[in-house]
Structure formats: structure tokens, C-alpha cells
Amino acid sequence: MVQAPESAVVRDWPEDGFPLGTYGPLPEEMTAAANEQLDNLAHVLESRGIRVDRPRPLDFSRPVATPEWSQQSMFGAMPVRDVLVVIGNELLEATMSFRSRWFEYLAHRPLIESYYRADPGMRWEAAPKPRLTEASYRPGFRDEYDALPYEEQIARVRAGELVLTEAEPLFDAADIARCGKDLFVQQSLATNAAGIRWLRQHLPEHRVHGVTFENLHPMHIDATWVPLRPGLVLHCAERPADEDLLQYFKINDWQVVRAATPGRQTPPPLSACSRWLSMNVLVLDPGTVCVEASETAQMEQLDRLGFEVVPVPFWDVAPFGGGLHCATLDVHREGVLEDYFP
Ligand code: NVA
């Protein structure tokens, strides 16, 4: 879906048939092409011995409501990475911050229920369901922000003063990059300081760091700061990191590598993502990484860094919300809780 306008976000794609205020399903041929690539990704993973579970479809075109608001359409579908995060034996449902995504967890619930029944050691948690009343959004944010000079916009990003207020904890799981005990959580258009505080209090055995980057429209960390294997993180150089974050990695002997320039100049039509989906790679194990098949420079860089690179065509999925990392979630992992930053 191109979601109906709401306080958190308004889509405006006149050249692709969705001018300001309009919404509706993406064209059938785009859906078919995306489904083919998604199915292929599942086969690639299964051929490597990975069990793949698929969420159930929901009718995302339907209006939804709580007692406090109504919204003319849902949104979402494939980017499971946004909604759920797995930390040790815990599966945690994020709050989300778009009204159109409030019910998205329902696509994943049958699977979560089956995992819970099968594994007595599993912890199933959900962050407090947000109210998402008008108090959660800065009125007139987009027009006010767009009119600011670049330096002032970046100051707002650094200060976490974007569309979300601090009325209640809000976070998308895809704003979290995890390296063992350390969680790096990007304050963004979907995640506020209260959300980061909630995560910090919820995970007392972990170190939860609130981070920002020089990015005018921050939304999900996995095309900006992508851990590849112990000691190595991929960074989008167009989005400089806070000096503190760089130092934290460097003093712990991690290499911070600038991601290769994407092959694409622009995102696909009707996509809310940037061309930096090129670095939205899916690491299967510390030596193997799936990369979008047309991003040759990114594949070559990872090859030089010693990875077996698995090319996977995925560009047609991008309009539905993201890349290979966005579309997946590793639910069962082997190994112990590591402390990479002692
Ligand atoms: N919104 C970010 C992250 C996508 C995975 C971007 O487009 O770069």
C-alpha cells in the first residue's frame, strides 16, 4: 500500500500516480514482480539449510481504528525487521509509530504463537502499545522542517526534534543495530528518546546507546550502520556518524568501512527508501552475506573483505519497504551473548 495520509507521514508521488493526499494499493504488476523475488530469496535461504517461515498476508487496504483515532489504510507487509527484534531468547514486538502500522504485528502473530508453543524457554514481550494520539506528533512538522536551512535541520536530527514528540515511548525495531551486549538505537522519524529509554530499562543486561547520524530523513539504521561480523561494521559515508560512536568502535579495534557507492542513482518508484538499500545486506553467518544482485560495487567490496557473496535480485521488492535485511528476521541463532566492547 501507499498508505493514507496520517500525522506521522504523508506520501507525495505525483509522477507515480499518488499525488499528495491520495493512497491505494501498488500496481498489480509491481506486486507480482516483488512476490517472485521474495519467493526466490526464500529458496536461496532454504538451499543453504535455513528454515524460512513466512508471515501471513493481511488486507492492508482496510481502514483501522482504535477508540482514539481512525486511519484510512494500513501499510507494511514485508519488512518484518521493522516490527520485531530478537535478543537472546526474547522476541520483542516494537511499538511502531505510524497509525497505519499499528496492527502490523498481527501479520506475525500466528508464527510467534507457534514459536512460543514449541519453545518453553522463549520469552515473548511487547513494548507498551502506543496511543498515537495527536500528542505524539509535532504539529506542522514537515512544512516547518523543510523550510529550515540544512545546518538547522541537522541540529534538529542531532537533538531528536523531528516529527515525534516525547509523549510516549516509540521505536521501530529496524532502528536497532546489535553487536552482542551493545544495542545502537537510532533516534529517527520513527524512534524517540523515550523509546530508547524504554529499551534501556527493559534490557538491563545490555548497553543501549542512542545514536544519530547526519541524515536529513533518518528512518531505520540498516542502510546507515550495518554490523557485518565481529570487528567490522559497514557505514554509509553520506551519513556521517557521531564522533562518540566512531570512537567507541575504534577504541575497541573495530574497523568502520565506508560502504561502496550504490550502482543506482535513485530509489525505485513509490519507494520510501533511499538508494543506500545497496548496503541493506543480509549476513547469514560471519563469512556469508546476501547482496542485491545489481549492486556490483557493494558485492566486490564485500568479496575483498573476505565474504562469500550471494547475489540475490531484490530491487522489485524495494517499493514494498526495503531490502534484504529489512525483509528478514533471524529468529533462531546459535552462540552465546558476546561482549565486543569490554
Ligand atoms: N530509510 C533508510 C533505511 C532503509 C533500510 C534508507 O532509505 O536509507
The one catalytic residue in 179, 273, 290, 326 is 326
Distance 244 CA to ligand 1 centre (A): 22
Task: Let me know if 146 is a catalytic residue.
Answer: no
Per-residue pLDDT at 204:
97
List Cβ<8 Å contacts ≥24 apart for 56-62: 56/107, 56/110, 56/111, 57/107, 58/103, 58/104, 58/106, 58/107, 60/1, 60/25, 61/1, 61/24, 61/25
Q: How far apart are CA 327 and CA 314, in angstroms?
A: 10
Distance 67 CA to ligand 1 centre (A): 32
Q: How far apart are CA 339 and CA 262, in angstroms?
A: 32
Ligand 1 pocket residues where CB is under 6 Å: 219-220, 222-223, 273-274, 276-277, 280, 322-323, 326
Q: Do residues 203 and 227 touch, judged by C-beta distance below 8 A?
A: no
- pLDDT, tens digit, 9 for 90 and up, residues 101-151: 999 999 999 999 999 999 999 999 999 999 999 999 999 999 999 999 999
Those residues whose C-beta lies under 8 Å from the C-beta of residue 44, and which sit 6 or more positions away, are 290, 310, 312
CA distances from 193 to 39, 68, 151, 181, 239 (A): 37, 23, 21, 20, 20
What is this model's ipTM? Answer: 0.94
Q: Do residues 66 and 102 touch, judged by C-beta distance below 8 A?
A: yes
Distance 140 CA to ligand 1 centre (A): 23
Task: Let me know if 202 is a catalytic residue.
Answer: no
Cell of 280: 541493506
- pLDDT, tens digit, 9 for 90 and up, residues 232-289: 999 999 999 999 999 999 999 999 999 999 999 998 899 999 999 999 999 999 999 9
- pLDDT, tens digit, 9 for 90 and up, residues 184-238: 999 999 999 999 999 999 999 999 999 999 999 999 999 999 999 999 999 999 9
Closest CA to 216 of 145, 322, 130, 138: 145
The one catalytic residue in 209, 220, 235, 325 is 220
Ramachandran area for residue 169 (φ above 0: left; ψ -120 to 50: alpha; else beta):
beta
Per-residue pLDDT at 198:
98
Mean pLDDT of 40-64: 96
Task: Tell which one of 191, 280, 282, 292 to mutate to probe ligand 1, the residue whose CB is within 8 A of the most ligand atoms.
Answer: 280
Q: How far apart are CA 33 and CA 283, in angstroms?
A: 24
Q: Which residues pair with 211 in a beta bridge?
A: 186
Cell of 14: 505525483
3-state DSSP assignment of residue 223:
coil
Closest atom of ligand 1 to 276 CA is 8
Closest atom of ligand 1 to 326 CA is 5
- pLDDT, tens digit, 9 for 90 and up, residues 61-111: 999 999 999 999 998 766 689 999 999 999 999 999 999 999 999 999 999
Q: How far apart are CA 319 and CA 313, in angstroms?
A: 14
Closest atom of ligand 1 to 219 CA is 1
Closest atom of ligand 1 to 325 CA is 5
- pLDDT bin (cut points 50, 70, 90) of residue 59 is very high
The one catalytic residue in 172, 182, 222, 316 is 172
Task: Let me know if 290 is a catalytic residue.
Answer: no
- Please tell me the pTM assigned to this model: 0.97
Per-residue pLDDT at 78:
64
Distance 299 CA to ligand 1 centre (A): 19
